Structure 1
């Protein structure tokens, strides 16, 4: 993937419905070249799809948080299965550093979030946790 592909992807992230003509002008290349690059990126798996974000999607989960977990022993796979089974869990990420897993959580109220956090803290193998509320999201990869 070269610099032109990176710039094309950046433009598509900003507006996935941009016309080939607008993309071509922005990149300083022909429409045919832009179309070929998009098809090549799709064929290679670099671009796996396009999506639409609805107003209702953006308003979902008025209370959101990130929960960082420290896991003792070798229970990570079991804990990930448990986490991914919870309806309030939006994503789980394994990581390095101080925390083993970061969990994205979304609920309707603070009380619901508190219940989910308490439930997760009771999972066998959770050694420590820290939670931060998300106040605002400027750019989402969704």
Structure 2
């Protein structure tokens, strides 16, 4: 990946709907080589897809909860089973396998406290192999970036 690829990625992170012509003008290439570079970046999995960034408050999911999960065992099978289970939960926005005393960190969205309670009782607490859960509610998001610092 060279400097032009990084500039393409940086521009597309700012505006994924940008036309190839506008992108080519912005980075100083003609459209055909620019399109070829984009196709290569997509084929190599560097660009994994395109999508809209949605305001979670505007769609009625203003509550963000971070949940530390401690598993009963940290075997590959237990971690894989947990991962399979939470992949099916649309409220789980992120799931990270962590180092340290707690095994997994989740970021979950909810409409309100009652909605979060239903998610816990009806979904997460029914996943086998969980030893302990600890939740923290985000009061406000101070920094949230979708764009990686590639340029």
* 2:133 corresponding residue in structure 1: 129
Inter-CA distance 29–57: structure 2 relative to 1 (3 Å threshold): farther
Q: Structure 2 vs 1, CA of residues 112 and 27 (structure 1 numbering), >3 Å: closer, same or farther?
A: same
Secondary structure of the 1:69 match is strand
8 Å contact 1:24–1:30 — kept in the other structure? Answer: yes
Q: Does 1:102 align with 2:105?
A: yes
Task: Give 5+ residue unaligned stretches, structure 1.
Answer: none
Q: Distance in 2 between matches of 1:68 and 1:32?
A: 48
TM score, norm. by length of structure 2: 0.71
Structure 2 stretches lacking a partner, 5+ long:
none
Aligned-partner Cα distance in 1 for 2:11–2:95: 28
Deviation, structure 1 residue 133? 2.3
**TM-score, scaled to structure 1:** 0.74
User: How large is the Cα RMSD of the aligned pairs?
Assistant: 3.0
Cα distance, 1:12 vs. partner?
Answer: 0.3
Structure 2 residue aligned with 1:26: 26
Q: 1:62 to 1:11 in 2, by over 3 A?
A: same
Q: 1:139 aligns with which of 131, 140, 145?
A: 145
For 1:113, the equivalent position in structure 2 comes to: 116
Give yes or no for the alignment of 1:40 onto 2:46: no
Tell me how far 1:132 sits from its aligned partner. Answer: 2.7
Q: 1:58 to 1:30 in 2, by over 3 A?
A: farther
Q: How many residue pairs were aligned? A: 141
